[in-house]
Chains A and B, each alone.
Chain A
Amino acid sequence: MFRRFFYTIKQAFLQVFRNRAMSVASIFAITAMLLILGLFFVIVININTAATMIRQDYDSIEVFLLDTTPKEQADTMITSLKGEAGVEDVTYRTKEEAMTELKTRWGDSGYLLDSLASNPLPNSIVIKINSLEAADDIAAKAAALDGIEDVKYYKETVDKLMSATRFVQLAAIVIMIFLIIVSVVVVSNTIKLTVFNRAREISIMKYVGATNWFIRGPFLAEGIIIGLFSAGISVGISAFVYEKVVDLIGKDVFAVLSTPMVPVDFLTYNLVWIFAALGVSIGACGSIISMRKFLDA
Chain B
Amino acid sequence: MIVFENVTKHYKSNIGLDDVSVRINKGEFVFLVGPSGAGKSTFVKLILKEIDANKGKIKVRGEDVTKFSNRQIPKLRRNVGIVFQDFRLLPKKTVYENVAFAMEIIHQSPRTIKRQVPQVLSLVGVGTKAQKYPNELSAGEQQRVAIARAIVNNPKILIADEPTGNLDPETAWEIMQLLELINMRGTTILMVTHAKDIVDRMNKRVIAIEKGRIVRDDIGTYGFEEALAKMEVTMDTLQHRRQFNEKLKKGDL
**Residues in chain A within 8 A of chain B (CB atoms):** 3-4, 7, 18, 200-201, 203-211, 214
Contact B77–A206 (Cβ < 8 Å) = yes
Residue of A nearest to B83 (CB): A207
Which 4 pairs of residues, A with B, have the shortest CB-CB distance?
Answer: A209-B78, A209-B77, A210-B105, A211-B74
Query: Looking at the complex, which one of A204, A210, A211, A214 makes contact with B88 (CB distance below 8 Å)?
Result: A204
A residues less than 8 Å from B75 (CB atoms): 209
B residues less than 8 Å from A207 (CB atoms): 48, 77, 82, 88
Residue of A nearest to B79 (CB): A209
Report B100-129 CB contacts with A as 1/0, cut-off 8 Å: 011011110110000000000000000000
- Interchain nearest-CB distance for A229 vs B (Å): 21
> How distant is the Cα of A230 from the Cα of B194 in the complex, in angstroms?
53
Residue of A nearest to B75 (CB): A209
Interface of B is mostly: helix
Contact A208–B102 (Cβ < 8 Å) = yes
Contact B74–A209 (Cβ < 8 Å) = yes
Q: In chain B, residues 145-203, which have Cβ atoms closer than 8 Å to a Cβ of chain A?
A: 149, 153
Contact B77–A208 (Cβ < 8 Å) = yes
Question: Quick one: which of A201, A206, A207, A214 has the most chain B CB within 10 A?
Answer: A207
Contact B74–A210 (Cβ < 8 Å) = yes
Number of A-B contacts (CB under 8 A): 41
Question: Quick one: which of A7, A208, A214 has the most chain B CB within 10 A?
Answer: A208
A residues less than 8 Å from B101 (CB atoms): 205, 208
B residues less than 8 Å from A203 (CB atoms): 88
Contact A7–B104 (Cβ < 8 Å) = yes
For the complex, is B15 an interface residue (Cβ under 8 Å from A)?
A: no
> How distant is the Cα of A204 from the Cα of B105 in the complex, in angstroms?
11
Contact B74–A3 (Cβ < 8 Å) = no
B residues less than 8 Å from A209 (CB atoms): 74-78, 102, 105-106, 153
For the complex, is B92 an interface residue (Cβ under 8 Å from A)?
A: yes
For the complex, is B90 an interface residue (Cβ under 8 Å from A)?
A: yes
- Interchain nearest-CB distance for B108 vs A (Å): 9
A residues less than 8 Å from B102 (CB atoms): 208-209
> How distant is the Cα of A204 from the Cα of B48 in the complex, in angstroms?
13
Q: In chain B, residues 62-87, which have Cβ atoms closer than 8 Å to a Cβ of chain A?
A: 71, 74-78, 82
Contact B107–A4 (Cβ < 8 Å) = yes
Query: Looking at the complex, which one of A3, A18, A201, A208 makes contact with B109 (CB distance below 8 Å)?
Result: A3
Question: Quick one: which of B74, B92, B101 has the most chain A CB within 10 A?
Answer: B74
- Interchain nearest-CB distance for A78 vs B (Å): 77
B residues less than 8 Å from A4 (CB atoms): 107
> How distant is the Cα of A205 from the Cα of B103 in the complex, in angstroms?
11
A residues less than 8 Å from B82 (CB atoms): 207
> How distant is the Cα of A18 from the Cα of B94 in the complex, in angstroms?
14
